[in-house]
Structure 1
Amino acid sequence: MSEQSIPAPPFEVADRPPSRTPSASATSDAPSDTRSDAPLSRQRVIPLRHPGRWIATAVVLVLVAQFAHGLVTNPFYQWGRFQYWFARPVILQGLLVTLEVAALSAVLGLVGGIVLALMRQSRNPILRAVSWTYIWLFRSVPLIVVLLVLYNFSALYKTLSLGVPFGPGFVHFNESALATDLVVATLGLSLNEAAYAAEVVRSGILSVDQGQHEAAAALGLPRGYQFRRIVLPQALRAIVPAYVNQLIGLIKGTSLVFYVSLLDLFGEVQNMGSTYPGDVVPLLLVATVWYVVLTSVVSVVQFYVERHYSRGALRTVPPTPLQRLRVSLRQLRERADFGSTVNS
C-alpha cells in the first residue's frame, strides 16, 4: 500500500500563543500564603483598607486625651476637695434619701401605670376617659409644678376626711401632719411617673401579636390569667428597655425634691455649697459622679433583665461583657498564632 500523505494542520505549532500559565519556577517563587493552590489554612485574607476610619479614630483619641488631660490638670476642679466630700456622712445620708424616694416612686409609679394602661384598654368608656385625661394632664404639667402644688396642698385642704360622699365625714386627718416632706416628694414623683409608665406598659401590650390574644380567648382562659401568663411575659420584652430609660430619668428627677424641703443628694450638695462657697465645683462633681454610678447600676440590671426575656425571641442569647472579652482575647490569640505560622 502506498504511503498516503497526511494533511498539514491549519496552523503551525510554533504560531500558538504562549501559555499564560505561570512556570513552575515563578509559582515556586510566590509566597506560600498568597498562592491559590496553597492550603486554605495557609492562605491569608488581606482586609480592605479604611483610611477614613483610622483618621476619625485618631481625631477622637486626640480629643479624648485633651479632655482627660484638662480634667486632671486643671486646678479649678479641686480634686483634693472632691475626694474629701465624696464619702462624707452628709453626702451618704442624702444619697440614701435619693435611693429611698426613687425606689418608692418607681414601684408606685409602675403599679399606677399598669392600672392606667389596663383602664385605657378597657371596654368601659368612663375608665378609658379617666385614664386618658390623667395621662394627658400629668404629661403636660412640669414635675416641679406638681411637687410645689402638693407641698402647698394644705393651703387648699387643711383637713382630709373619710365618710359618705357629699355627706358627713367620719374620720378626719390633719393634712399638714400627714403629708411629710418624704410623702410629698414620693407622691409627686409617683403621680408623674404613673402617667409615663402607663404609656410604656400600653405600648408593650400592643406589641404582643393579636393572635396570642385570640388563642388565649379560644382556650376559654380568664382575662386576668391571660394577662398574667400570656400577654405580660411577652410585653415585658418591649416594656423593660423603655421603662428602665424612664427609671433613669426618675433617678435624675429626684434632684427636684430639694424644692419641697427634702434634703436628698442634690439638696445636701446645695446646702454644703452654700456653707462652703469655695467648694461648689467639687461638690457638684460629687453629685455628678454619684448620679452616674446610680444610673450605671440600673443600666447593668437592664442588660441582664433584657437578656433574660430575650430567650424566647432570639436564636442566641446576647453575650455578657465577660463573654465578649473572652471572645476578643481568643480572636487575638488566634491571629497571633496565625501570624507566627505564616512567618515560619
Structure 2
Amino acid sequence: MINSTLPEPNTDQDELRTIARRHPWRWVSALVALAAGSGIVWAFASSPNIVWSEVGSYLTTRSILEGIGLTLLLTLVAQSVGIVGGVVLAVMRRSRNPVLRMISGLYLWIFRGTPVLIQIIFWYNLALIFPAVALHVPFTSFGFSVETNSLITPVAAAIVALGLNEAAYMAEIVRGGLLSVEQGQSDAATTLGMTRSQAMRHVILPQALRTIVPPTGNELINMLKNTSLVSVIAAHELLTASQQVYAVNYLVIELLIVASIWYLALSTVASLAQAYLERRLQVVLRVRQQPWTTRAANHLASLRSPSPTSDGKS
C-alpha cells in the first residue's frame, strides 16, 4: 500500500529569506546631487560680492516691513475678489441661460488669454480711455463726477487687475468642484422641493468645497508671488520697497535676497495653512465615529434584547 501522506515541510530549513535588491547607482546619483547642491550654496555663501551683513540688517527695516504689509493686503483682498468672482462665473457657466454662459465664456477667454502684467498696466492707465467717471440721474441735474486718476490709484489698479484675473482661474476650479458632485445630489434636492439656486447653495456647493479648497490654496500662494508684478506701477509692495532701497545704496543682490527670503517665509506659512486645511478635509471624508453616548445606548439596547439561537429557541 502506497502512503499518500506528504511529509510536513521543515520550516527551519525551508524558510525563504527576502534579500533586498541593491541599487548602487541610486546612491551615486544622490551623492552627485548633494555635492552639486552643496557647491552652489557654498558659492553663494562665500562670494565676496555679496555683503551678507547688509542682508540681515535690511530684513526688518521699516520700508521692507511696510512693503510686506501691502503685499499681504493685496494678496488677501485680490484673492477674495477672485474667489467671489470665480463662484459667480462658475454658476453662470452652468446656467441654462445661454446669454450668461456666453458672457462667462467670453470673460474667461479674455482674462485667461492675456498676461496679467498687461492687465495691471491697462487698469493703471484707464484714465487714457475714460478721463473721468461720471454718474448722473437722467433728466435731472443730480449726479457726480470724479477724475479717473484719483480713483484708480496704484493699489486700486493692482487689486482690480489681480482680482479680476484670479476670478477667471477660480471659475474653472469652482466649476471642476461642482462637476465632482454627483447629479443624484441635485436630483434629490429637487425632489425635496428645493429650487435650483437653493440646491446650489445648500447641497452642491458645501460638498464641492472638499474639491475646491486644495487648489485654492495653491492659487493663494501664486497670488502672493504675483503681487510682485505690481512693481511696474510703483505700488509700494515688497519688491518695489526693495527696488527703492537698492536704487539708493546700489546693493542690488542683497536687497533681492531680502525680498526672496520674505517671499519664501510667507509662502511657507501659506503652505502650512493649506496642509492643515487639507488634513481637516480628509477627516470630513472619513466615516466619523459615533459619539460615546450613542455607542453606549446601542450597547445597552443589544444587551436587553434576547439573542436568538440557531434553532430559533431561546
Aligned to 1:292: 264
CA, structure 1 residues 184+165, in 2 after alignment: closer, same or farther (shift >3 Å)?
Answer: farther
CA, structure 1 residues 165+283, in 2 after alignment: closer, same or farther (shift >3 Å)?
Answer: farther
User: One-letter code of the match for 1:237?
Assistant: R
Deviations 1:14-33 (A, max 9, x none): xxxxxxx99xxxxxxxxxxx
Decide which moves more: 56-65 or 127-136: 56-65
CA, structure 1 residues 72+210, in 2 after alignment: closer, same or farther (shift >3 Å)?
Answer: same
User: One-letter code of the match for 1:102?
Assistant: T
Aligned to 2:132: 159
* Residue of structure 2 aligned with 1:274, choices 247, 255, 280: 247
Deviations 1:58-90 (A, max 9, x none): 222222222232232222332111111111111
2:134 counterpart SS class? strand
Deviation at 1:97, TM superposition (A): 0.8
Aligned to 2:154: 181
Matched, 1:70 2:43: yes
Map of 1:126-205 to 2, 5 A cutoff? Answer: 126-163=99-136, 170-205=143-178
CA, structure 1 residues 167+137, in 2 after alignment: closer, same or farther (shift >3 Å)?
Answer: farther
2:270 counterpart SS class? helix
Greater Rg over alpha carbons, structure: 1
Aligned to 2:98: 125
**Percent of aligned pairs with the same amino acid:** 38
Deviation at 1:185, TM superposition (A): 1.2
- Once residues 299 and 166 of structure 1 are traced to their aligned partners in structure 2, the CA distance between those partners, rounded to angstroms, is 55
- Once residues 45 and 159 of structure 1 are traced to their aligned partners in structure 2, the CA distance between those partners, rounded to angstroms, is 80
Deviation at 1:129, TM superposition (A): 0.8
2:283 counterpart SS class? coil
- Once residues 60 and 74 of structure 2 are traced to their aligned partners in structure 1, the CA distance between those partners, rounded to angstroms, is 20
Aligned to 2:68: 95
Task: Name the TM-score, length of structure 2 as normaliser.
Answer: 0.81
CA, structure 1 residues 88+192, in 2 after alignment: closer, same or farther (shift >3 Å)?
Answer: same
CA, structure 1 residues 145+168, in 2 after alignment: closer, same or farther (shift >3 Å)?
Answer: farther
User: One-letter code of the match for 2:75?
Assistant: A
Ranges in structure 2 where 5+ consecutive residues have no aligned partner = 1-8, 289-314
Would you say how many aligned residue pairs link Structure 1 and Structure 2? 282
1:161 counterpart SS class? strand
Deviation at 1:267, TM superposition (A): 0.4
Task: Name the TM-score, length of structure 1 as normaliser.
Answer: 0.74
CA, structure 1 residues 315+74, in 2 after alignment: closer, same or farther (shift >3 Å)?
Answer: farther
CA RMSD, 1 decimal? 2.8
Ranges in structure 1 where 5+ consecutive residues have no aligned partner = 1-20, 23-33, 317-344
